[in-house]
Structure 1
Amino acid sequence: MNLSKQIKNYRTRVNFSQEDLAEKLYVSRQTISNWENAKSYPDIHNLLLMSVIFNVSLDDLVKGDLEMMKNEIQNLQLNKWTNSMILFMLSGVISIGPMMSWVGMQGLILSFALITVSLFSAHKVERIKKKHNLKTYKQILAFQEGRQLTDDKINYSRKKDMLIQVIFVLASALITGTFTWLSLAYFNV
């Protein structure tokens, strides 16, 4: 739940109209409407006043937004490490041919270093997945969208995801092998 919904929930719980709350906070009704529609946000002074008026802690008033912000940060981290993993894996695989052609076998050190960075990124992705108990692709997508899946949807998606995981691993191996082969063939190694 976000702050705009929290304000509206607490306002209706105490049976205040937007005008009533606006009068108590010395703001316009339009300001309350903007807060409730997430067009703008109250400053700390108004948040403190609302927590007193609604008889809730400031933490309870903004807790939903804090949880959303934490999930958004984790989502950004997941995307960052996933992109890093893909970028460094492709760079490492594609660099095998040029490095062997230009430098010889010692050139593979750079390629393997890039692949190692990719594996480190994959480890970070797995840690985020483990922290949030994400085991299926549907759970990962739901996490990225800020949703929760029910248990019956999770159990159903686990069965489908086993097949998807096998296909994903095989496709990844095929793509990686193809890029490696193309890299080696192009540089006549």
Structure 2
Amino acid sequence: MELGVRIKQHRTARGLSQEDLAGKIYVSRQTVSNWETDKTYPDVESLLLLSSLFDVSVDDLVRGDVEMLQENARANAKKLNFWGGLSLASAALALLVLTGGPFLFGIPGTFFVTLVPIFVCAVAAYRASRIMKSIDVATTAEMVAFLEGRPVNRDEAKRKQYRKCVAIITIIVTVVSGCIGAFIGLMAYKAGF
């Protein structure tokens, strides 16, 4: 990305240290360092403050980075879709084998057969969660919307609703996982393991 280089050029041209710049735009020195080394990308508010401080337009500041941001967002969406789909499919397969294996397929020892899709599900869910943590989806979405001239959605009520939905889904997944675990334990107990 070119933004980090531009921030550093404008900062040094004005004789500012990273700490001085951080104080003027209300962020930490480490945040400025992360921007300059392209580890993170500034949010919309920080970009507006930077453009005002450096007397340049936001377009001049982020020139060339729009396409890269959009490509990164598409690539991350593909990765999330793949790992999320794999997690869901392997969980469904594990449930199918557990509940219908002995009856539908006549497979003895379904407990051990079920461990493979459960393991795949756990790995896929872990990979998806790592991708979600590594990117700041809200900041990237806000950035792309701002640069394309669309309104930036900062509705706190929607964000709170989203957090509630995530909490409810987490509780549901935990309860379902507990039920599956209890079922596996019961099957193993009945099978004499």
What TM-score, normalized to structure 1? 0.46
Q: Which has the larger radius of gyration?
A: 1
What TM-score, normalized to structure 2? 0.45
